Amino acid sequence: MIKVERLNRISRLRYEKIINRCGEKIYPLVFKAAAPVVEDIRKNGDRALARYIKRYEKISLSPGKLIVSKKEIRDAYSNLPGKLLKDIKLMIRNVKAFYGKQLSNTCKGWKGRFGKGYTAGQLLRPVESVGVYVPGGTALYPSTAVMGIAPARIAGVSRVVVATPANRKGKIAGPVLVAADLAGADLILKAGGMQAVGAMAVGTRTVPRVDKIIGPGNIWVSAAKLYVMIRNYSSIEFVAGPSEVLIIADGGANSRYIARDMIAQAEHGPGSSAVLVTTSAGTAGKVRESLNEMVKQSSRKRTIEAALKRYGAILVAESMGKAVEFANKFAPEHLQVMTKNPGDILKSINNAGSVFLGEYTPAALGDYLSGTNHILPTGGGARYASGVNLETFFKRPTFQQFDGKALDALRKPLTELADVEGLTGHGASVEERFKRSKT
Amino acid sequence: MIKVERLNRISRLRYEKIINRCGEKIYPLVFKAAAPVVEDIRKNGDRALARYIKRYEKISLSPGKLIVSKKEIRDAYSNLPGKLLKDIKLMIRNVKAFYGKQLSNTCKGWKGRFGKGYTAGQLLRPVESVGVYVPGGTALYPSTAVMGIAPARIAGVSRVVVATPANRKGKIAGPVLVAADLAGADLILKAGGMQAVGAMAVGTRTVPRVDKIIGPGNIWVSAAKLYVMIRNYSSIEFVAGPSEVLIIADGGANSRYIARDMIAQAEHGPGSSAVLVTTSAGTAGKVRESLNEMVKQSSRKRTIEAALKRYGAILVAESMGKAVEFANKFAPEHLQVMTKNPGDILKSINNAGSVFLGEYTPAALGDYLSGTNHILPTGGGARYASGVNLETFFKRPTFQQFDGKALDALRKPLTELADVEGLTGHGASVEERFKRSKT
């Protein structure tokens, strides 16, 4: 299924294929598919929204039924198995604990005194309203509801709208409703795909317009997110593609754990990628064997095989340095470091969504219970983006305050610089402050 | 030119016109104009780049001449007037002072202990390479070079590429070269427009590919930035449109200062907007008078008149609360607060790029010398985005490390949650760690 390859011997083409992984063809859908749907909703509101829900999701919902009712939420709580309620609460508690620490560590405004006595600094302000997209349809993802909503609430977002597709009976799965409600959703919209993103971006009578839309989704959701972003209807965090894990391992790593973690990633879908880069040919061979054995017994055998065949790789690197270099180049969504001293490797990691250190830290922890976040940049996006975290929901406007003396000190240089740029009115706005007669 | 209007009496249509200001039609250019240029450069590299420079900028540059030479930079220093060198150094010093404070206040990694004893936290890592677009052509903007480059350097970006259009003789203005060099550019590309953005996003033989492209530009530049972003060739900070100022003033504010500040904003171009919202009908009337008088004497009279006529407004609000509410709704690039106690108003400001407090703090300060930044979100983008600051250049990857005991504590809930989502391999990856036989 997967063969063992030497990192320094693979062809340029093979290297590019691994690095580029599953490149989803979202671009053409932005104008061909998403644009007309979003523009129709912008013009015709709920009527258009309901029409697309009927067309694409095969559900008839009158505008009055688009939003989940209080009764539906109460019913979801009543029907939820007790242990699952406890699990969801634990998931939320851990996310809140983690982001509570981010809040106290790095989320604050500040100011200082500068130059000849002026004050300047940065404010810290939450985005006012956020839309969280929670994928659904065939599966259900209470965890994604938590990952999107809980950090927004900690950042102080005033309004959190959730959109998730209902089933053919117009119902949303209980665990998702409970998770969204417990995490702090103000409003849950029964819609998926392009129409859900479009409605939150432009607003309708029943769906409030939001400032930012976050959350993973299929290529239609991604196309709609890109469209509303380039039209400036709403901002987005990023577009998330198929799930990925890259595992760095040395000769002491447990090959069965590695194989399990690669499978856990591959089971997400046939576009997912699971890559091992190891300094040990022995580990590489054993992982290969374990994979062959374990995949056969997996419940999602076909999906896993497809993913591993197309986007899986087992690479043997000449040195740990080369392995880390490859990891930074790959910029994985999930990076597992299964080496003797994983903390040493961590120092050299520049590009990763979330890093999992040591043999007892499978990436699955990040999906549910370690409190970090599973809405992470994929496809190399970790080179320039972070996963959803409090900064996703904060802006940092700058401010400054001068008195006459401090302004006077910059008066001449400012006028000279503005004059070079041909902006004489800029200098004049400063000079006006030093004229004798004042009105 | 501008009339005085009552905020609570204006029509919905007028209100929308003020809030929407100059909506640039960038969207169609993304596919019709930017896509073919960027794709051509992606395929044909420097040859295509040189071809577009010739076509759109009317300059013949062989690939060997695309990058500014050391000699050109030396010459720029020799020819620069001493006072301008001092001014540029002051501008850089102030930007470095401000972002040095941001660095020490909010830019750090952190970790904590959670749950039954696992460690988790966030790293802080700079984006490795950044491209800074500096507009040019008819005017020159050494200040923009500084605003883009200096914060990137403070954040620890390894490589900073600058692109700016040359004049018809293939030369870049001395002040821009000196500002870019002093601020820390590694490489200066003589190209503007879509071809500059495209080359930095996809990389050519002479132009290194960058992870993020920042900087203001015209609609062609914006279209190219959006295109490379949706294709995932490079990330961008945001798309910046025409310049804006919103001024909040009370009855004690100096109307001549206000008029000067509105003119300083309007002189940027005919799409710029300058809006006053005041609680005092007296102030409103006097600003109107001052504007009429001052515009006549301005060197950029026609531009200023066009901007004020189309996107200028003088609004009288019923109360300071209503004025602030309007400001947050407008979400201006520059917000001036000219009231008795501007610090009180600051607390209620949620949406603004940069805030200028009091009568001695004209927005022009932010353009050059207050050390904050003039690359700011426009068109309402301040609802969800910050201006260029250190966070623009940082990622915050999360990390976590569990031991057997900590993992064991989450073992059952994790498997239960994963099973609900149909991801049985996730649970299996945890369970594997607790099996007896290990390989």
Sorted by sequence, the CB contacts under 8 Å of residue A279 that are 6+ apart come out as A249, A250, A251, A316, A317, A318, A319, A320, A323
According to DSSP, the residues that pair with B245 across neighbouring strands are B274, B334
Q: Hey, are the CB atoms on B299 and A424 less than 8 Å from each other? A: yes
Question: How is residue B360 annotated by DSSP?
Answer: T
Say whether pLDDT at A298 is over 80.
yes
The pLDDT-based confidence of A437 (bands split at 50, 70, 90) is: low
Parse chain A into domains and list their residue ranges: 4-18+241-372, 27-236, 403-434
Which of A268, A334, A416, A432 is labelled catalytic? A334
Name the B residues in 37-76 with CB < 8 Å from any A CB.
none
Catalytic (active site) residue B334: yes
The pLDDT-based confidence of B183 (bands split at 50, 70, 90) is: very high
Identify whether the C-beta of residue B315 lies closer than 8 Å to the C-beta of residue B3: no
Measured between CA atoms, how close is B222 to chain A, in angstroms? 10
The pLDDT-based confidence of B436 (bands split at 50, 70, 90) is: confident
Task: For residues B323 and B329, give the distance between their C-alpha atoms in angstroms, rounded to a whole number.
Answer: 10
Beta-carbon count within 10 A of A31 CB? 17
Alpha-helical regions (H) of A298-374: 301-311, 320-330, 342-346, 364-368
Backbone φ and ψ of B151, nearest 5°:
-65, -35
For β-strands A354-357 and B212-214, DSSP reports them as: unpaired
What is the mean predicted confidence (pLDDT) over B43-58? 97
Buried b (16+ CB within 10 A) or exposed e, A336-357: bbbbeebeebbeebbbbbbbbb
Instruction: Find chain A residues with C-beta within 8 A of B306's C-beta.
Output: none
What is the mean predicted confidence (pLDDT) over A113-141? 94
**pLDDT value for B439:** 47
| pTM, rounded to two decimals | 0.97
Out of A211, A351, A399, the one facing B346 most closely (by C-beta) is A399
Torsion of CA B309, A39, B216, A120, to 10 degrees: 80
What is the mean predicted confidence (pLDDT) over B17-24? 91
**pLDDT value for A439:** 47
Beta-carbon count within 10 A of B47 CB? 13
Which of B237, B267, B333, B374 is labelled catalytic? B333
Which of B72, B53, B93, B44 is closest to B187 using CA atoms? B72
Question: How is residue B30 annotated by DSSP?
Answer: I
Measured between CA atoms, how close is B5 to chain A, in angstroms? 22
Which of B382, B395, B432 is closest to B21 using CA atoms? B382
What is the mean predicted confidence (pLDDT) over A379-387? 97
Same fold, B4-18+241-352 and B27-236: yes
Question: How is residue A334 annotated by DSSP?
Answer: E
Catalytic (active site) residue B374: no
DSSP B244-263: EEEEEE-TTS-HHHHHHHHH
CATH of domain A4-18+241-372: 3.40.50.1980
A380: region left, alpha or beta (phi > 0 left; psi from -120 to 50 alpha): left
Say whether pLDDT at A72 is over 70.
yes
**pLDDT value for B116:** 86
Say whether pLDDT at B248 is over 50.
yes
Segment A340-349, tens digit of pLDDT:
999 999 999 9
Say whether pLDDT at B437 is over 70.
no
Half-sphere exposure at residue A331, Cβ-oriented, CA atoms within 13 angstroms: 21
Residue with tokens 């900064």: A391
Segment A194-244, tens digit of pLDDT:
999 999 999 999 999 999 999 999 999 999 999 999 999 999 999 999 999
State the average pLDDT for chain B.
Answer: 96
What is the mean predicted confidence (pLDDT) over A344-360? 98
Task: For residues A269 and A242, give the distance between their C-alpha atoms in angstroms, rounded to a whole number.
Answer: 7
What is the mean predicted confidence (pLDDT) over B106-135? 97
Which of A333, A359, A374, A431 is labelled catalytic? A333
Per-residue CA distances from A401 to A439, B259, B363 (Å): 21, 19, 10
ipTM of the complex: 0.97
**Which of B103, B107, B401 is the mutation pick for testing A, counting most A CBs within 10 A?**
B401
Say whether pLDDT at B365 is over 80.
yes
Instruction: Tell me the CATH architecture of domain B4-18+241-352.
Output: 3-Layer(aba) Sandwich (3.40)
Say whether pLDDT at A299 is over 90.
no
Q: Kindly calculate the radius of gyration of chain A based on its CA atoms and give it in whole angstroms.
A: 25
Out of A211, A300, A413, the one facing B383 most closely (by C-beta) is A211
**pLDDT value for B278:** 98
Say whether pLDDT at A107 is over 90.
yes
Q: Hey, are the CB atoms on A267 and B367 less than 8 Å from each other? A: no
Segment B186-208, tens digit of pLDDT:
999 999 999 999 999 999 999 99
Say whether pLDDT at B357 is over 90.
yes
**pLDDT value for A24:** 82
Task: For residues A344 and A355, give the distance between their C-alpha atoms in angstroms, rounded to a whole number.
Answer: 13
Sorted by sequence, the CB contacts under 8 Å of residue A166 that are 6+ apart come out as A57, A59, A61, A136, A172, A190, A191, A192
Identify whether the C-beta of residue A195 lies closer than 8 Å to the C-beta of residue A41: yes
Q: Does A344 touch chain B (CB under 8 A)?
A: no
CATH of domain A27-236: 3.40.50.1980
Instruction: Find chain A residues with C-beta within 8 A of B354's C-beta.
Output: 397-400
Structure tokens at B194: 């879509």
**pLDDT value for B139:** 82
Segment B64-82, tens digit of pLDDT:
999 999 999 999 999 999 9
